[in-house]
Amino acid sequence: MIADQLPALQIVIPMLAAPLCVLVRRSFVCWCISVIANLLVLWVAWSIFKQVQSDGVIRYALGGWAAPTGIEYYVDSMNSIMLLLVSFISCVVLVYAYQSVIKSVQTGKHYLFYAAWMLCLTGLLGISITGDAFNVFVFLEISSLSMYMLIAFGSDRRALSASFRYLIMGSIGASFILIGIGFLYAATGALNMVDLASRIPDAQSQRAVLVAFSFLTIGLMIKSAVFPLHGWLANAYQHAPIVVTAFLAGTATKVSLYVLLRFFFSIFGTNYSFGSMLLNVVLLPAAVAGFVLMSLVAIFQSDLRRMLAYSSVAQIGYIIAAFCLASQAGLTAGIVHIINHGIIKTALFMSVGCIIYRVGHAHSDSLDNLFKKMPFTVTAFIISGFGLIGVPLTVGFISKFSLISASMERGWWMIGVLVLLSSLFAIVYVGRVIEIMLFRQSRTDNPQPAGMHEAPLLMLIPMYLLIAVSLWFGISGSTTLAVAADAAAALLGGYR
Amino acid sequence: MAVLGLYNYWAVIVLMMAGLYILIARYNLIKKMIGLGVFQTSIFYLYISMGKVQGGSAPILDDAVPLYSNPLVHVLILTAIVVGVATTAVGLALIVRIYEEYGTIEEDEIKAIESQEHDL
């Protein structure tokens, strides 16, 4: 009985948790409600994932209205991964958030914070699960609007202007996506993704399809912060409450990348997007310039959050470059990196969150000899930092290795060389911070607060859970690779 | 004739470009929100325009009405209008808070204030 309704529950549970938080208003109770809702969501996502692995695609007609008339939830091996990833990261960060929120968000507004979090989760899961193009836009706006709100909770006043800038950029991106969907509807008369995919081959000659394609490309590039359109990201990541940054870095851009995959591969089809439309020519230079330049820029950032934000743009560059290969191996590498980067970047931001919790800021120059005072936090930073670089036995190695071998397979060896170059930059920017935290002698004018000690357990445990997962995925890489290869095959095969 | 016959689409293009231009070229945050509003409204017109069927009446299910316009786009735009209103509300709320904190709503002045701030 319940097993049939899982796709609806995936969205309904967090959506109901949000108003419940607003009604209850007590900070601790709201946190409990959110965590319980999120655990349920995680369980639902896991059940859906298992179901898709064993029985194949799930098609759920919302309200009993069958596909072309009603809105349909369509779950295949690709988006079941996204559902699992989003709900897992949100769950871990939410448990971690309790202590951090008490310190960084104004008391009396906590219930709004958790309500916005739940709405954002609803939106992100909705984007991942839906099989209706217009529904994607609606959920995109639900998640974005609550994200602007979450960012504005930052204690620094610059959080407000960062949030406003994100609002302007994000709304332009979402509007472009809306225009694109409109043109697609005009050209094909369908909004259901499976319908769209089957009708586009006949409508391909129409200019409306070309226009729709262009608008969707730009809109999704803004939303997923692909290199030249990443302007909103650095400020938003730096000034948002650190838990929001951890959540945002692991999920929001990844979900936008999923939408990009869905439109380019499933709906327009690989041949149209990468064959006749030459998407490579637009996306590949942007992606390559992104991961080389942004890794370089990250070296010169003194604020850890800003450094990791630029590194995020670089990682998105890797993922887009992998998509551009448009081969089974390339897509597998891209999807694996979506999972792996989601996990390690969240873990990194969580360790920075622990540092901010105790030290009060994340300025790398004054973190000297932090290892003495916060050994567990620094160890977590080092392990996930190695993951970011791509040291063997970490997840980063798996994704970079598969990306490089996929580009070699395509004969684009230059990409492999540039990935290695940008990994060298990553060694510099991560290594610089590790050097300061491990080896630099404490100065006498060190502004670290006196009597500082390790972060609370409620923050350390979720962080180490993520790191354990990342190590497990790094050592037995075949699990994620097999799942991602499955998803890549589903995307390349189109809807059946 | 073909150009004139598509006058509603010309209106869409003019509004869209005007909105986008305001959004990019104006530093005043309120004006930016106005630009965003105009930009989003032009998309609503685009959707409504394409739902119109030549000679069709309002979409009422009745034997006396043989030809009617596409009602789906209206429903979609109803949703998009709600989203637009919510975006404007969040944007204006942020502007109020920005004004309280910075004492200005000119983006260049905000940038100037921010450039003088340092973390520690």
Q: What angle separates helix B72-102 from helix B107-116, to the nearest 10 degrees?
A: 50
With b for 16 or more beta-carbon neighbours within 10 A and e for fewer, the B36-47 pattern comes to bbbbbbbbbbbb
Partner residue facing A161 (CB), from B20, B83, B110: B110
Category of A405 on φ-ψ map: left (φ > 0), alpha (ψ -120 to 50) or beta? alpha
Number of cross-chain residue pairs from A and B with Cβ atoms under 8 Å apart:
72
A421 neighbors A429 (Cβ within 8 angstroms): no
pLDDT at A124: 95
* Domain B2-54+67-116 is found in CATH 1.10.287.3510: yes
The stretches in chain A having pLDDT less than 70 are 1, 277, 443-451, 496
Q: Does a structural domain hold residue A352?
A: yes
Which amino acid would we find at residue A462?
A: P
Q: Does the distance separating the beta carbons of B87 and A167 come in below 8 Å?
A: yes
Task: Kindly state the average pLDDT of the residues B95-115.
Answer: 91
Instruction: Please give the structure tokens belonging to residue A55.
Output: 């029985």
Q: Does the distance separating the beta carbons of A141 and B86 come in below 8 Å?
A: yes
Among A369-383, B23-37, B81-95, the least confident range: A369-383
Q: Does a structural domain hold residue A170?
A: no
Partner residue facing B101 (CB), from A138, A160, A185: A160
Instruction: Please give the structure tokens belonging to residue A433.
Output: 């911070």
pLDDT digits (tens, 9 = 90+) for A200-226: 888 888 888 999 999 999 999 999 999
Q: Which residue has the higher pLDDT, A77 or B55?
A: A77
pLDDT at A447: 63
CA distances to A46, A357, B48 from A447, rounded to whole Å, are 45, 14, 60
pLDDT at A320: 92
B41 pLDDT band, cuts 50/70/90, is very high
Q: Does the distance separating the beta carbons of A363 and B119 come in below 8 Å?
A: yes
- The closest of A326, A337, A370 to A253, measured between CA atoms, is A337
Q: What is the pTM of this model?
A: 0.93
Q: How far does Cα A168 stand from its chain's mean position?
A: 20
Q: Does a structural domain hold residue A3?
A: no
Q: What angle separates helix A110-129 from helix A77-104, to the nearest 10 degrees?
A: 170
- Using the predicted structure, report yes or no on whether residue B1 has a pLDDT greater than 60: no
Number of residues written out for chain B: 120
The range of the structural domain enclosing residue A399 comes to 283-496
Residue B4, judged by CB atoms within 10 A of its CB (0-12, 13-18, 19+), counts as exposed
pLDDT at A453: 77
Partner residue facing B120 (CB), from A152, A175, A366: A366
Cα–Cα distance for residue pair A481/B97, rounded to 1 Å: 46
Cα–Cα distance for residue pair A11/A45, rounded to 1 Å: 10
**Number of other residues whose CB lies within 10 A of the CB of residue A152:** 26
Q: Does a structural domain hold residue A24?
A: no
Taking an 8 Å Cβ-Cβ cutoff, which residues of chain B contact chain A? 20, 23, 29, 32, 36, 39-40, 43, 46-47, 50, 73, 76, 79-80, 83, 86-87, 90-91, 94-95, 97-98, 101-102, 110, 114, 117, 119-120
Report chain B residues whose CB lies below 8 A from the CB of A178. Answer: 43, 80
A41 neighbors A10 (Cβ within 8 angstroms): yes
Give the gyration radius of chain A's Cα atoms: 22
Report chain A residues whose CB lies below 8 A from the CB of B108. Answer: none
Residue for token digits 């921010």? B114
Percent share of chain B, pLDDT over 70 = 97
pLDDT at B119: 55
Cα–Cα distance for residue pair A20/A34, rounded to 1 Å: 9
DSSP 3-state assignment of A345? Answer: helix
- Using the predicted structure, report yes or no on whether residue B111 has a pLDDT greater than 60: yes
A170 neighbors A144 (Cβ within 8 angstroms): yes
The angle subtended at Cα A187 by Cα A186 and Cα A188, nearest 5°, is 100
**ipTM score:** 0.94
pLDDT at A42: 95
Q: Does a structural domain hold residue A494?
A: yes
Q: Does a structural domain hold residue A323?
A: yes
Question: Total structural domains in chain A?
Answer: 1
The angle subtended at Cα A143 by Cα A251 and Cα A338, nearest 5°, is 20
Cα–Cα distance for residue pair A417/A419, rounded to 1 Å: 5
Question: Chain A closest CA to B64's CA: distance in Å?
Answer: 24
Domain spans, chain B = 2-54+67-116
Query: What is the longest distance spanned by two Cα atoms in chain B?
Result: 75
Question: Chain B closest CA to A20's CA: distance in Å?
Answer: 20
- Using the predicted structure, report yes or no on whether residue B9 has a pLDDT greater than 60: yes
Report chain B residues whose CB lies below 8 A from the CB of A171. Answer: 36, 40, 87, 91
Q: Does the distance separating the beta carbons of B94 and A171 come in below 8 Å?
A: no
- Using the predicted structure, report yes or no on whether residue B120 has a pLDDT greater than 90: no
Strands (E), A126-242: none
Residue for token digits 């008369």? A189
Partner residue facing B23 (CB), from A148, A157, A168: A168
Cα–Cα distance for residue pair A420/B21, rounded to 1 Å: 41
- Using the predicted structure, report yes or no on whether residue B3 has a pLDDT greater than 80: no
DSSP 3-state assignment of A59? Answer: strand
Number of residues written out for chain A: 496
